[in-house]
A and B are shown apart, each in its own frame.
Chain A
Amino acid sequence: MHLLDWGVMAAYIAWLVWDGVKRTKLERTTESYFLANRSMPWWAVGLSVMATQLSAITLVGTTGQGYSDGLRFVQFYYGLPLAMVILCLTLVPFFYRARVYTAYEYLERRFDLKTRTLTSGLFLVSRAMSCGAIAAAPAVVLSVVLGWSVTMTTLVILVPAVIYTMLGGVQAVTWTDVKTMSLTIVALVVAMVFLVRGLPEGVGVDDALAIAGGTGRLQAFDLRFTLTETYTFWSGMLGGLFLMLSYFGCDQSQVQRYLTAKSEDAGKTSLLMSAYWKIPLQVLVLVVGVFTFVFYLFNQPPLLFNPIHDQRVRTGESAPAYEALQREFQGTFDARRQAAVDMAAARHAHDVREQARATDEFSRQDRALRSIRTKAASLVKQTTGDSSYNDVNYVFPTWIMTALPIGIVGLWIAAIITAATDSIAAELNSLSTASVIDFYKRLAQPAASDAHYLLVSRATTGFWGVFAGFVAVYASNLGSLIEVVNRFGSFFYGSILGVFMLAILTRRATGTGAFVGLLTGMGAVASVAFGRPDISFLWHNVIGAVVVFTVGSLVSLFTEDQKIRSQQ
């Protein structure tokens, strides 16, 4: 990377930290530290909601998905707009009127302490681990791309987040989210401009779309109803709806964003911003990936996008086989590029027969190229012993480092790092809130001064930052543990939604009903996850929510509400 790129990257990260830290003097109470005194404008909250969800994995992994699979992934978000409307009609008004700090605090008011403690505890366990995973995934990719150690890239991602979140609280988190979201959109548009400019003479945007469409990469609808495919129209509309309801309505890392809004209406409007813009933004990210695919039709890509693996195979036992594959790859790439040029020329000449011939030839060469890549991946697996090898996350960073001009590279690397940083900052902020409000203040020290809680809040933010760093650095060793925790997270995501459904949709639901329902729902999802691992995780949310609601309603028929009894 050029010195100017390092400068751009360092200057942007330094500006974020400085701007966040200078808000320290505004944070004198826990209400300002956690909720910005409920004073934030809707547009800043709306951008913060979107930035929290858009992490570095979106910029690196989703563009890679666009490159390899096209637009299919966008179906995951089809249920989001309806979920936002449902939340505006149901949970959001309850949260605002109850003036809570955490979503789980509301559950104690409606049910009892044990339901609040269990849901908040589940949130802490899963979010603390996922916070480490959010740092680990881009840290690994950046360490390969920049040539740094994983520990170093993890620190570059985590330290700014910990500093400005600890000192500046939720205001620092929100305003850095606004900046990073703006930078991300600018970076994506700039990438798109360079990808279009990188098309060869005689191939326009229309031809590029036709070529990508010819490979099935513009398929945004799969109307099959199947429980085993994650990305279909129905799994997005139904499973995605429940997942989004749970994520935006019951997960503190999102609830806390809109609790900072200056009014209930501002909170609702901020959520509707995602309803309008999330799908178009996701399409933009995926289209950047699709155009990266088109770019590499006309510009020779490496056989393996991960340069470390490429180096290891080149110098390992499989070097002769790898060299033979390289030669085969070169020939097939040239034949595919010629077929793509012929397709575009035939389209322009309206020569249907030639177009059909070129399309057939293109598909044949594309299949051959994929087969060569599969063989190369097998060599990597043999050489490194990494059976899950997949270099899709390295495609877009490779394009950034090799195809973008000096200065823009730095801008993009800054965008990737800060996308991870600000997602982590929001998570740290919400972890600290749940720890202090739902546990420390509620169970350990109920009568301390606000200054004491503010101090503990800052210390807790730092603690969760160190914990996330530990998980991220040791992610490769903790691999199976993280998987277990993530799986555990998917067991209760829909189940917690079921508890909130009981709280809002039924007046008869009791605390014991909700608690028993929650445990049963988690058990039901666990049995489906282990018994039928082929069922997509999106359906786990539907199963969890429905089981909790049904069991919770039934148990409530036979149990008394303690609160009502104590009031009588």
Chain B
Amino acid sequence: MSDPSPRIWTRTYLTVMAVEVIVLLGLLWLQRHYGI
């Protein structure tokens, strides 16, 4: 594997956190839409 620059890693970490926010928002939507 090549050695990505720290900038690419920063972007990767931000993507991980953004994906988590999207997944949590999806779960929140599920809870609100179908929940009591």
Binding site for B on A (CB under 8 A): 42, 71, 74, 78, 81-82, 84-85, 88-89, 209-210, 212-216, 218-221, 262-263, 265-266, 268-269, 272, 275-276, 279-280, 283
A85 CB to nearest chain B CB (Å) = 5
Interface residues of chain A: helix, strand, loop or mixed (majority) = helix
B23 touches A279 (CB 8 A): yes
Are A81 and B1 also in contact (CB < 8 A) when A213-B34, A283-B27 are? no
Q: Find chain B residues with CB under 8 A from A263 CB.
A: 1, 3
B4 touches A81 (CB 8 A): no
A210 touches B34 (CB 8 A): yes
25 contacts between A and B (CB under 8 A): A71-B30, A74-B27, A81-B19, A81-B20, A84-B16, A85-B17, A88-B9, A88-B13, A209-B34, A213-B30, A213-B36, A216-B35, A219-B35, A220-B28, A221-B27, A221-B28, A221-B31, A262-B1, A263-B1, A265-B1, A265-B3, A265-B4, A266-B1, A268-B9, A283-B27
Q: Find chain B residues with CB under 8 A from A279 CB.
A: 20, 23-24
Which A-B residue pairs are the 7 nearest by beta carbons? A213-B34, A220-B27, A81-B20, A213-B35, A209-B34, A85-B13, A275-B16
B16 touches A85 (CB 8 A): yes
A71 touches B27 (CB 8 A): yes
B36 touches A216 (CB 8 A): yes
Interface residues of chain B: helix, strand, loop or mixed (majority) = helix
Q: Find chain A residues with CB under 8 A from B23 CB.
A: 279-280, 283
B34 touches A78 (CB 8 A): no
B16 touches A218 (CB 8 A): no
Q: Find chain A residues with CB under 8 A from B35 CB.
A: 213, 216, 218-219
The answer for the CA separation of A213 and B16 in the assembled complex, in Å, is 28
The answer for the CA separation of A279 and B4 in the assembled complex, in Å, is 26
Are A276 and B16 also in contact (CB < 8 A) when A214-B36, A266-B1 are? yes
Q: Find chain B residues with CB under 8 A from A214 CB.
A: 34, 36
Q: Find chain A residues with CB under 8 A from B12 CB.
A: 272
A269 CB to nearest chain B CB (Å) = 8
Q: Find chain A residues with CB under 8 A from B4 CB.
A: 265
Q: Find chain B residues with CB under 8 A from A215 CB.
A: 36
B20 touches A275 (CB 8 A): yes
The answer for the CA separation of A177 and B13 in the assembled complex, in Å, is 26
For A220, give the chain B residue with the smallest CB separation. Answer: B27
For B28, give the chain A residue with the smallest CB separation. Answer: A221
Are A81 and B17 also in contact (CB < 8 A) when A262-B1, A280-B23 are? yes
